[in-house]
């Protein structure tokens, strides 16, 4: 049996790792499609990811979409519009997340508005405005910020993307563990014969992601992925399944850390075109 003193010595290490895990998951919100493919999706076109990963992808999302996502202590909802009558492709989103940090119980919310448009043939630019709110037991913080996204689609089955998150800088008044950070990320998307999709993303915080989607038939999609945060030494193995019908779509995702059984996430999404 371990000596009680050894457990006390290990406690700060455990808390440090726990806080890293919570901080690492707070930078962007992942839909179940993105989560199941290792956190990728900056160069893919999904109604649930445009507001959070890359707003420029809105130009390729035709029609109206309602999207909602549920995970433990997490909730997200978006409405997007890229119909012929719309002035610009746009999306309105909301995220609410609860977690434990060093200062106590944290409730984080993000109200965001995204706009996008082509500026050259096959090149599109998008911007997302954020209103962040952080609520702690004895304090609260608010911040306005924005993301800038770019996507290049030389072919219908190929996409390249670049995104800068929180371009207005970091608010030094917000505790560093929960502060939205200014980061850069890139992504690549390739669809093979409309049956298999490969996705690869990377960020300036040394997070590397890869994902694979396969269409079992017209409606069922399986997904697998891998993510490695080399700075924080956090690996994730991901998997999921989706149903994409003509009236609605359902997606499930699992993320798990093979080195830490307590570091995992389940999520379920609903998407309705209208």
Q: For the segment 62-96, what is each residue's pLDDT rounded down to a tens digit?
A: 999 999 999 999 999 999 999 998 899 999 999 99
Is the confidence at residue 242, as pLDDT, over 80?
yes
Query: Are 77 and 68 within 8 A, CB to CB?
Result: yes
pLDDT at 103: 83
pLDDT one-digit tens code per residue, 132-191: 999 999 999 999 999 999 999 999 999 999 999 999 999 999 999 899 999 999 999 999
CA–CA distance, 11 with 5 (Å, rounded to integer): 10
pTM over 0.85: yes
CA–CA distance, 50 with 72 (Å, rounded to integer): 22
CA–CA distance, 83 with 90 (Å, rounded to integer): 10
Backbone φ and ψ for 161, nearest 5 degrees, come out as -140, 150
Higher local confidence (pLDDT), 27 or 236:
236
- Class of the CATH-defined domain 4-273: mainly beta
CA–CA distance, 90 with 126 (Å, rounded to integer): 9
CA–CA distance, 33 with 250 (Å, rounded to integer): 10
Q: Is 65 left (phi over 0), alpha (psi -120 to 50) or beta?
A: beta
CA–CA distance, 29 with 262 (Å, rounded to integer): 20
3-state helix, strand, coil in the chain (%, to 5): 10, 55, 30
pLDDT at 174: 94
Contacts of 255 (CB under 8 A, 6+ apart): 35, 36, 227, 236, 237, 238, 264, 265
pLDDT at 3: 43
Both tokens of 142, joined, read 């608010």
Distances (CA, A) of 227 to 3, 68, 198, 232: 35, 24, 14, 12
Alpha helical stretches, state H, the chain: 4-24, 32-36
% of the chain surpassing 70 pLDDT: 91
* 33: number of Cβ within 10 Å: 30
Q: What are the domain boundaries of the chain?
A: 4-273
Per the DSSP assignment, residues forming a β-bridge with 74 are 71, 97
Rounded to the nearest integer, the mean pLDDT of the chain is 90
% of the chain surpassing 90 pLDDT: 83
């Amino acid at each position: 049996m371990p000596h009680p003193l050894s457990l006390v010595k290990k406690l700060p290490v455990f808390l440090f790792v726990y806080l890293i895990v919570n901080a690492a998951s707070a930078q962007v919100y992942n839909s179940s499609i993105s989560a199941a493919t290792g956190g990728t999706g900056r160069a893919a076109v999904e109604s649930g990811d445009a507001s959070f990963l890359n707003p420029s992808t809105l130009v390729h999302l035709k029609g109206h979409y309602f999207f909602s996502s549920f995970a433990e202590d997490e909730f997200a909802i978006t409405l997007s519009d890229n119909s012929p009558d719309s002035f610009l492709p746009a999306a309105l989103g909301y995220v609410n997340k609860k977690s434990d940090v060093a200062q106590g119980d944290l409730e984080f919310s993000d109200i965001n508005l995204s706009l996008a448009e082509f500026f050259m043939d096959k090149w599109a630019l998008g911007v997302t405005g954020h209103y962040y709110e952080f609520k702690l037991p004895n304090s609260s913080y608010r911040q306005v910020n924005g993301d800038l996204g770019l996507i290049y689609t030389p072919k219908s089955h190929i996409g390249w993307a670049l995104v800068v998150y929180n371009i207005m800088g970091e608010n030094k008044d917000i505790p560093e563990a929960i502060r939205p950070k200014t980061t850069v990320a890139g992504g690549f998307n390739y669809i093979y014969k409309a049956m298999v999709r490969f996705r690869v993303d990377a960020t300036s915080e040394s997070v590397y992601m890869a994902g694979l989607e396969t269409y079992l038939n017209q409606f069922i999609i399986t997904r697998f992925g891998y993510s490695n945060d080399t700075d924080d030494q956090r690996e994730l193995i991901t998997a999921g399944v989706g149903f994409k019908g003509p009236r609605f779509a359902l997606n499930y995702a699992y993320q798990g850390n093979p080195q830490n059984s307590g570091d995992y996430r389940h999520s379920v999404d609903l998407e309705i075109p209208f």
